[in-house]
């Protein structure tokens, strides 16, 4: 299952987007501003981030900048959602740009595009604390009297 972080200061829009994404089988984490979004991203390491551009405390640009500068989060794909076009010189900070209003199909396709080629966390092998057995290890048998 993929984890998507949804960051938007509009609670109604955030709830609708969350519902649509959860219906697609994604686990959705939410935050109401860029500062909260960054803290959530660091704590939960999402597979993708969808963020509004204009928000209080820390806007979408600041969130993108912080994510790209974080060693663990730098490769996480980001979609920026805005009613206005962001400055062209900052485009390297995100993967996709979505113009508001965003319809349901566009949201679904954009989430799928962000996650294309990424492996869901459930397919990753868990950490093994003991070494794997080898063919050189003795095999105990109860065939002997």
Burial class (CB in 10 A: 0-12, 13-18, 19+), 51: buried
Q: Is 10 helix (H, G, I), strand (E, B) or coil?
A: coil
Range of the domain at 109: 3-122
Q: Which CATH number characterizes residue 113's domain?
A: 3.40.50.2300
144 is a domain residue = no
Residue 130 in this model has a pLDDT that exceeds 50:
no
Listed residue (41, 30, 26) closest to 8, CA to CA: 30
130 is a domain residue = no
18 is a domain residue = yes
Average pLDDT for 109-128: 68
Q: Give the tokens for residue 101.
A: 């209003």
State the DSSP H helix or E strand holding residue 59, giving kind and residue range, or none if neither.
Answer: none
Contact between residue 67 and residue 49 where contact means Cβ atoms under 8 Å apart: yes
Residue 143 in this model has a pLDDT that exceeds 70:
no
* Count, residues in the chain: 145
52 is a domain residue = yes
What is the count of structural domains for the chain? 1
How many Cβ atoms are within 10 Å of 129's Cβ, its own excluded?
5
Model pLDDT, residue 89: 65
Instruction: For 31-61, write each residue's pLDDT tens digit.
Output: 999 999 999 999 999 999 999 888 888 888 8
Listed residue (21, 75, 122) closest to 4, CA to CA: 21
Q: Could you tell me the sign of the dihedral formed by the alpha carbons of 38, 43, 48, 50, in that order? A: negative
139 is a domain residue = no
86 is a domain residue = yes
Residue 24 in this model has a pLDDT that exceeds 50:
yes
141 is a domain residue = no
Model pLDDT, residue 58: 80
State the DSSP H helix or E strand holding residue 5, giving kind and residue range, or none if neither.
Answer: strand 3-7
**What are the angstrom distances between the C-alpha of 3 and each of 6, 35, 89, 101, 122?**
10, 19, 29, 23, 11
Model pLDDT, residue 54: 80
26 is a domain residue = yes
Instruction: For 88-112, write each residue's pLDDT tens digit.
Output: 666 678 888 888 889 999 999 999 9
Rounded-to-integer distance, Cα 24 and Cα 72, Å:
26
């Amino acid at each position: 299952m993929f984890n998507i972080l949804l960051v938007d200061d509009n609670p109604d829009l955030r709830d609708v987007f969350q519902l649509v994404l959860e219906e697609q089988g994604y686990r959705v984490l939410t935050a109401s501003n860029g500062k909260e979004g960054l803290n959530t991203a660091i704590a939960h390491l999402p597979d993708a981030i969808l963020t509004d551009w204009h928000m209080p405390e820390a806007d979408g640009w600041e969130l993108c900048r912080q994510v790209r500068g974080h060693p663990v989060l730098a490769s996480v794909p980001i979609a920026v959602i805005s009613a206005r076009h962001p400055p062209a010189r900052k485009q390297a900070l995100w993967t996709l740009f979505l113009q508001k209003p965003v319809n349901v199909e566009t949201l679904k396709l954009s989430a799928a595009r962000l996650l294309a080629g990424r492996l869901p966390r459930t397919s990753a092998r868990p950490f093994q604390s003991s070494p794997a057995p080898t063919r050189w290890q003795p095999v105990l048998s109860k065939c002997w009297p």
